[in-house]
Chains A and B, each alone.
Chain A
């Protein structure tokens, strides 16, 4: 998308999001635009676009640095140094270049620990999908968090992780789950709060592939306490991203 159109679209989105009470938003980048395993140049272009978007509304957006761990330690570290060290990004984002349990994740986790930023790992139950060579099952992301206890890991997509994902995440102190992804299925937010505690859950929308009011409504309409809702909507993310 050309810059002018992108900026107009971002402005519209910021305005609409703010009208629903959203104060801050994490921009992750157009992470699948070049396929599941982008090269170094493509990675930099995606992160450059994220930086541009953040610069248009710096009081609203945080940037996360998108990485392809398959590119190796040197490439990973260089991009983290550039995005987190120089551009001020606040976290790292992993998609489907590899499974989270693979050895190539080690440099990613070491860089995250060095900069003290969280790692957001795309995760979805592979019970019915069966593409574990690229996608991470909840068990894989939980294993990643256990292997690197000094790094904060966000397991994306509560509904995609499902009840099995919630059970796998129990008792891992450096792991959070976000509520983004999939239709607003009933019961899963309550199950996560009951089994993990609301302090382990972050609100997420998965924009633009999901409906923003529906994403908010999945949490707001779940049978949990107001205190739990507030923690999920704002408090937990604020602590994780060190806003307080």
Chain B
């Protein structure tokens, strides 16, 4: 059996446990606070997910002790022009204290600089999200290079979504490949000061990316191995790991427990759950 850094087979599969789940929920509501960097708003066309308006998100997150969240609109994923979705999001979140907008910019469109100017005028906006796999551009494009410069001037953070859905499970109507580690490594090496938050990578992908010379942070949404955070800590400083649930595409409780029940120290778990995101986004 190997635990890390090698190709291994499945070893154990447990079927039988007895948990008092309601009691467990009460325990961690009181014990940990979370800042979720990967939450999505609106309907998703390919799965029967729960209602996903702002009030639904608030209710779902508060149940698990998630007091702050960065929210992006699903509408922007499948539309070339992200601004209608961004504007709807900004309007919806105006009076939602714990939900912060993380709008999407598409540098593959001509007016992206105007879009960025419009978004950066909103005080609640602390960063923008890129969806290269869904919007069909590469991270080595001239527009992305220019975007990185503009974000630095505006003191906005850059969040790159490598994948939203396991590519093996995508609806057959669409063919989306995640942003490759090679492309991401090239980006962080070319832009050493951009320090992006790269979301949606698996443990092995993060291990590969960590070998790149550039600086980046990541979220917990797709990273998994037995005791995930302990494994990630082996090649990435804890300060660069941020909690992200990918809610509502993934089960929020599962993502919370990945951090809450990690074997890391309480201080390190708190940093991943909340502190690192607060510092990273300066909120």
Interface residues of A (CB under 8 A from B): 1, 6, 9-10, 13, 16-17, 20-33, 49, 95, 120, 124-125, 127-129, 156, 159-160, 162-163, 178, 180, 182-191, 202-218, 220-223, 226, 229-230, 233-234, 236-238, 241, 243
Contacts and interface: CB of A to CB of B under 8 A. Distances in A.
Interface residues of B, number: 54
Contacts of B168: 124-125, 128-129, 160, 182
17 contacts: A13-B12, A25-B13, A180-B13, A183-B250, A189-B251, A205-B13, A207-B10, A207-B12, A209-B224, A212-B227, A214-B254, A216-B17, A216-B19, A220-B24, A230-B18, A233-B18, A236-B15
A141 to B, nearest CB: 16
B2 interface: yes
A203 B16 contact: yes
Contacts of A221: 251-254
Contacts of B49: 186-187
B249 interface: yes
Q: 7 nearest interchain CB pairs? A: A221-B253, A32-B9, A217-B254, A184-B254, A237-B15, A213-B257, A25-B14
B144 to A, nearest CB: 27
A186 B251 contact: yes
Contacts of B9: 29-33, 95
Contacts of A234: 15-18
A17 B166 contact: no
B170 A214 contact: no
Residue with the highest number of chain A CB atoms closer than 10 Å, among B17, B50, B222, B261: B17
B200 to A, nearest CB: 10
B8 interface: yes
A185 B260 contact: no
A23 B55 CA distance: 38
B67 interface: no
A213 B11 contact: no
B167 interface: yes
A127 B169 CA distance: 8
B263 interface: yes
A23 B225 CA distance: 21
Given A212-B226, A216-B257, A222-B251, 15 more contacts: A13-B226, A21-B17, A21-B18, A178-B13, A186-B248, A189-B251, A210-B225, A212-B14, A212-B227, A213-B262, A217-B251, A217-B253, A220-B19, A220-B253, A229-B21
Interface of B: 1-3, 7-19, 21-22, 24, 47-50, 165-170, 172, 221-222, 224-228, 246-258, 260-263
A218 B226 CA distance: 15
Contacts of B18: 21, 23, 230, 233-234
Contacts of B249: 185-186
Contacts of A32: 7-10
Given A203-B16, A223-B50, A6 B1 contact: yes
B226 A20 contact: no
Nearest to B248: A186
Contact of A27 (B12, B172, B251): B12
B19 to A, nearest CB: 4
B256 A217 contact: yes
B197 to A, nearest CB: 18
A214 B224 contact: yes
B225 A211 contact: yes
A207 to B, nearest CB: 4
Nearest to A61: B12
Nearest to B4: A208
A1 B4 CA distance: 12
A101 B209 CA distance: 39
A162 B47 CA distance: 10
B60 to A, nearest CB: 10
Nearest to B262: A213
B47 A186 contact: yes
A56 to B, nearest CB: 12
Nearest to A191: B48
